[in-house]
Amino acid sequence: MDTDWRHDRIGSAHRRENPTVMRRLTSGFAAIGDRQFLPGYSVLLTEDPAVTRLSDLSRERRIAYLCDMERLAEAVERACRRLDPAFRRVNIEILGNTDPYLHAHVWPRYDWEPADQVRLPVWLYEEEQYWRGEQHALAPRHDGLRAAIGEELDALGEVS
C-alpha cells in the first residue's frame, strides 16, 4: 500500500486516493482503521482538514457530523455482531490529541479480548504488539469485514 496518502488522509480521501475510505458520508469519510487488532475499527474523518474540533463546525454541520458518527458506529456494530458472536459493544471517541483534524474513532469491543484489557480504553493495548507490528495492519484479509461495514452503511441511509 502506498504510504503517501497517510500524510494527507482527508485530501487523499477527496482525491479518491485514500484506500481506507469505505464511503463518503454527509459530513466526511467513513474509513476502516489502519490497525485491526479489534476487527472493524473505523474512523470518521471530517471533510475539511482545517476543522480541528467539533466546536469549529456550525451547529448544522456539527449535527451532521454527529449523525454520521452514529451511523458509522451502528454500521460497525451490525457488521461485527453478524461476523463475530463474541462482539460486545462499540466505543466511540473524539480525542484529537495526535492528529490535528476532527475525527472520531469507532472501536468494536469483544468478549475474547484479554481479561486485563476488555474493560480499559484501547489506547492501553501494548504499543509494539498491537499498534506497530504487521500482525494487525490493515490487509486484504480484512476486505470481507470492510465490505460488511460498507453494506451496513448503505442499509442505514443515503450515501452521497
What CATH number does residue 48 fall under? 3.30.428.10
Model confidence pLDDT, tens digit, residues 43-63: 999 999 999 999 999 999 999
Exposure of 34 by Cβ count < 10 A (0-12 exposed, 13-18 middle, 19+ buried)?
middle
Handedness of CA 67, 68, 72, 73 (dihedral sign): negative
Average pLDDT over residues 93-102: 89
The pLDDT of residue 9: 93
Q: Considering all CA atoms of the chain, what is the largest pairwise distance in Å, rounded to the nearest integer?
A: 42
Q: In the chain, where do the E strands start and end?
A: 21-24, 28-32, 42-46, 87-93, 103-110
Amino acid at 139: A
By the 8 A CB rule, do 57 and 51 touch?
Answer: yes
Cα separation of 55 and 57, whole Å?
5
Q: Domain range spanning residue 137?
A: 4-156
Model confidence pLDDT, tens digit, residues 106-138: 999 999 999 989 888 999 998 888 888 789 999
By the 8 A CB rule, do 30 and 23 touch?
Answer: yes
Cα separation of 153 and 25, whole Å?
9
Q: DSSP state, 159?
A: -
Q: What Å distances lie between residue 154 and 41, 50, 65, 147, CA to CA?
A: 18, 28, 17, 10
The pLDDT of residue 33: 96
* Residue 22: closest CA among 38, 44, 39: 44
pTM of this prediction? 0.93
Q: How many domains does the chain have?
A: 1
pLDDT of 158 > 90? The answer is no
